[in-house]
């Protein structure tokens, strides 16, 4: 059974800092790894999807990397802003033969607070 872990549960940083959010997963047989953002009381917004054959993906100030062999992914946020304050969740998608793009297994998320 896939387990996804995100540590720490919460993080507070001053505005402008570059930061890294970590995600680890127990079963390396994944098809992709996704990062989502969730604002309080809201649904999830997809940030980045990294295919299992890729090492990283970039979108604006966000860069996500994937190392399947070690069961790790990181989300790098450059020049953090107060508007980045939210909960960031990573989710693993099972391999093609077990139902790719079916159920996602989520971590508990990291609640980020960027102080002005």
Partner 1 sequence: DTGVSQDPRHKITKRGQNVTFRCDPISEHNRLYWYRQTLGQGPEFLTYFQNEAQLEKSRLLSDRFSAERPKGSFSTLEIQRTEQGDSAMYLCASSLDRVQETQYFGPGTRLLVL
Q: What residues make contact with partner 1 under the rule CB under 8 A? A: 4, 9, 31-32, 34, 36, 41-46, 49, 51, 89, 91, 96, 99-109
Q: Which is nearer to partner 1, 42 or 61 (CB)?
A: 42
Shortest distance, position 45 Cβ to partner 1, whole Å: 7
Shortest distance, position 64 Cβ to partner 1, whole Å: 13
Shortest distance, position 75 Cβ to partner 1, whole Å: 15
The DSSP secondary structure of 28-39, one letter per residue, reads: --EEEEEEEEE-
């Amino acid at each position: 059974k896939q387990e996804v872990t995100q540590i720490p549960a919460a993080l507070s940083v001053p505005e402008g800092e570059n930061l890294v959010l970590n995600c680890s997963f127990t079963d390396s047989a994944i098809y992709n790894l996704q990062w989502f953002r969730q604002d309080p009381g809201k649904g999830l917004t997809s940030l980045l999807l990294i295919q299992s054959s890729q090492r990283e993906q970039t979108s604006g100030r966000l860069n996500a990397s994937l190392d399947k062999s070690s069961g790790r992914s990181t989300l790098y946020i450059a020049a953090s802003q107060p508007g980045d304050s939210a909960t960031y969740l990573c989710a693993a998608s099972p391999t093609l033969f077990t139902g790719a793009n079916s159920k996602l297994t989520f971590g508990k998320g990291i609640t980020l607070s960027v102080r002005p």
